[in-house]
C-alpha cells in the first residue's frame, strides 16, 4: 500500500543566513517498492553544516540541492516493504535520503547497520561519518604524535567534541578546545575532558589561545576557519600540522572571506595545512569503528547528542545547529 509521507523541500536559495521561508514541508504519497527497491521508514535524520553549501547553486564536492525537491542527507530507518531479497523487511539501514519520513530507494543505495551494537542514531554520529571525520583528521591529515598539544575549534559540536577526546587517545599531552559561550566552555572542561577551554565570544582569541597553550600548538583541527585559523597559525609550533576540516564561521557569508593575514608564518614554522573530505577516508572506517567501540565501552569516548523531535521541526534543528544550539551531534527523531 502506498504511504503518506512528509518531506522538506528547498524552495529558495538562501542569501546569508537561511530563513524558514526558504523551505517548505510537503505531504506526498510514496509508492510501494518495485523490484530491487526498498521502502524505508526513517527514524533519525542528520542536520549538518555542509548542507548550507548545498543550498547554494555553486559547483562543489557535492551537487547543490534542487529547488522544489526534497533535500538529502544522512538518515537511519527500518525497511517496511522490500522488493529485494538482500534487504528484507525489518532491516535497519543507513542511507542518504533524509529530510523525509519515508524514502523509496534502490536496495543498493542503503547499507544495513547492526542495531544491536549501538543506538541506531550512533551511525549518524560517533559510529558514522562524524566520528570518522575526527579520526581521519587526527591520524591521516594532521597526525597526532605522543606528547603533542592539540587545539580543536568547534569543540563542543559533533566532530569537535569527538576530536578532542580522540586526540587524547592518540597520545596528546594537552588538548585545548574553543566553543561559543560559558556553558559550552564548562562542558568542554568537565564532560569532554579538555585541559583548557576558550569561549571565543569572550575577548581576543589569540591571547586566549596563548594562555591556554603557553608552549604553542602542534596540531590544530579546524572546524571554524576565519579568526580561529589565524589565531592557530600564530600559536603553531615548528613543524605543526593543521587539518582543515571546515570553516563554519563562513558558511553564511555573502562575500568571499579574506584568508588569514598571517599565512606567511607557515613558511618559517614549516607548517602543513591540509584540507580533507571524509568520503575519501572510508578505508579507515573498520579500524576506527573497532577503536571507537573500545573507547566507548571503557567510558573514554562520550558521544553527546542534541535531539529535536519531528520532521516539522527539522528546519529549525538545522538553523539552530548553525547558530550553535547543539552540543554534540544535532539529530532529528522522525519516528521511534
Ligand atoms: P557542529 O560543530 O556540531 O555544529 C556547528 C557548530 O558551529 C555550532 O554548534 C556552533 O558552535 C559552531 N559555529 C557556528 N557559527 C560559528 C562561528 N561564527 N564561529 C565559530 N563557531 C561557529 O557541526 P559538525 O557536523 O560537527 O561540523 C563541524 C565542522 O566540520 C563544520 O565546519 C563542518 O563543515 C565540518 N565537517 C567536515 C567534514 C569533512 O569531510 N571535511 C565532515 C563533517 C563535518 P558554537 O556554539 O561553539 O559557536
**CB-ligand 1 contact for 248 (6 Å cutoff):** yes
Question: Long-range pairs for 250-258 at CB < 8 Å and ≥24 separation?
Answer: 250/225, 250/226, 251/49, 251/52, 251/53, 251/322, 252/14, 252/16, 252/17, 252/18, 252/52, 252/322, 253/16, 254/15, 254/16, 257/225, 257/226
Q: Identify the burial level of 41 via C-beta atoms within 10 angstroms of its C-beta, where 0-12 means exposed, 13-18 middle and 19 or more buried.
A: middle
**CB-ligand 1 contact for 208 (6 Å cutoff):** no
Hey, what domains does the chain have and what are their CATH numbers? 3-121+304-333 (3.90.180.10), 129-280 (3.40.50.720)
Among protein residues, the one with the nearest Cα to ligand 1's atom 18 is 249
Which residue in 335, 53, 288 sits closest to 162, CA to CA?
A: 288
Euclidean distance between CA atoms 240 and 221, whole angstroms: 11
Higher per-residue confidence, 256 vs 263: 263
**CB-ligand 1 contact for 14 (6 Å cutoff):** no
Query: Confidence class of residue 53 from pLDDT cuts 50, 70 and 90?
Result: very high
Q: Measured in whole angstroms, how far is the alpha carbon of residue 266 from the centre of its chain? A: 27
Give the nearest ligand 1 atom to 156 CA: 47
**CB-ligand 1 contact for 154 (6 Å cutoff):** yes
**CB-ligand 1 contact for 177 (6 Å cutoff):** no
Which residue in 203, 199, 168, 167 sits closest to 184, CA to CA?
A: 199
Residue 291 alpha carbon to ligand 1 centre in Å: 24
**CB-ligand 1 contact for 160 (6 Å cutoff):** yes
Q: What is the pLDDT of residue 1?
A: 84
Q: Measured in whole angstroms, how far is the alpha carbon of residue 74 from the centre of its chain? A: 11
Give the nearest ligand 1 atom to 178 CA: 47
297 touches 319 (CB < 8 A)? no
pLDDT tens-digit readout, 200-246: 999 899 999 999 999 999 999 999 999 999 999 999 999 999 999 99
Euclidean distance between CA atoms 6 and 99, whole angstroms: 9
Mean pLDDT along residues 248-258: 94
Cell of 281: 577516508
Q: Is the pLDDT of residue 155 over 90?
A: yes
**CB-ligand 1 contact for 119 (6 Å cutoff):** no
Amino acid at each position: 500500500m502506498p504511504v503518506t509521507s512528509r518531506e522538506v523541500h528547498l524552495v529558495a536559495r538562501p542569501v546569508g543566513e537561511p530563513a524558514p521561508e526558504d523551505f517548505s514541508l510537503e505531504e506526498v504519497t510514496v509508492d510501494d517498492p518495485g523490484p530491487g527497491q526498498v521502502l524505508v521508514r526513517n527514524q533519525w535524520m542528520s542536520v549538518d553544516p555542509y548542507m548550507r553549501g548545498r543550498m547554494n547553486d555553486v559547483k562543489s564536492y557535492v551537487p547543490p540541492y534542487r529547488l522544489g525537491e526534497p533535500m538529502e542527507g544522512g538518515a537511519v530507518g527500518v525497511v517496511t516493504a522490500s522488493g529485494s531479497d538482500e534487504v528484507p523487511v525489518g532491516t535497519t539501514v543507513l542511507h542518504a535520503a533524509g529530510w523525509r519520513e519515508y524514502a523509496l530507494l534502490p536496495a543498493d543505495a542503503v547499507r544495513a547497520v547492526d542495531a544491536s551494537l549501538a543506538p541506531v542514531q550512533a551511525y549518524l554520529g560517533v559510529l558514522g561519518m562524524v566520528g570518522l571525520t575526527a579520526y581521519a583528521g587526527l591520524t591521516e591529515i594532521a597526525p597526532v604524535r605522543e606528547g603533542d598539544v592539540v587545539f580543536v575549534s568547534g569543540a563542543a559540536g559533533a566532530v569537535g567534541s569527538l576530536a578532542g577526546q580522540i586526540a587524547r587517545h592518540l597520545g596528546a599531552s594537552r588538548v585545548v578546545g574553543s566553543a561559543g559561550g560559558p556553558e559550552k566552555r564548562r562542558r568542554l572542561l568537565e564532560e569532554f575532558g579538555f585541559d583548557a577551554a576558550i569561549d571565543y565570544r569572550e575577548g581576543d582569541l589569540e591571547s586566549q589561545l596563548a594562555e591556554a597553550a603557553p608552549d604553542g600548538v602542534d596540531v590544530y583541527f579546524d572546524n571554524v576557519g576565519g579568526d580561529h585559523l589565524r589565531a592557530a597559525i600564530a600559536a603553531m609550533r615548528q613543524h605543526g600540522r593543521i587539518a582543515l576540516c571546515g570553516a563554519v564561521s563562513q558558511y553564511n557569508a555573502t562575500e568571499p572571506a579574506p584568508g588569514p593575514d598571517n599565512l606567511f608564518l607557515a613558511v618559517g614554522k614549516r607548517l602543513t595545512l591540509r584540507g580533507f573530505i571524509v568520503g575519501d577516508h572510508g578505508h579507515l572506517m573498520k579500524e576506527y569503528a573497532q577503536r571507537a567501540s573500545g573507547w566507548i565501552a571503557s567510558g573514554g569516548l562520550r558521544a553527546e547528542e542534541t535531539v529535536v523531535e519531528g520532521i516539522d521541526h527539522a528546519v529549525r534543528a538545522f538553523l539552530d545547529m548553525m547558530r550553535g544550539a547543539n552540543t554534540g551531534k544535532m539529530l532529528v527523531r522522525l519516528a521511534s
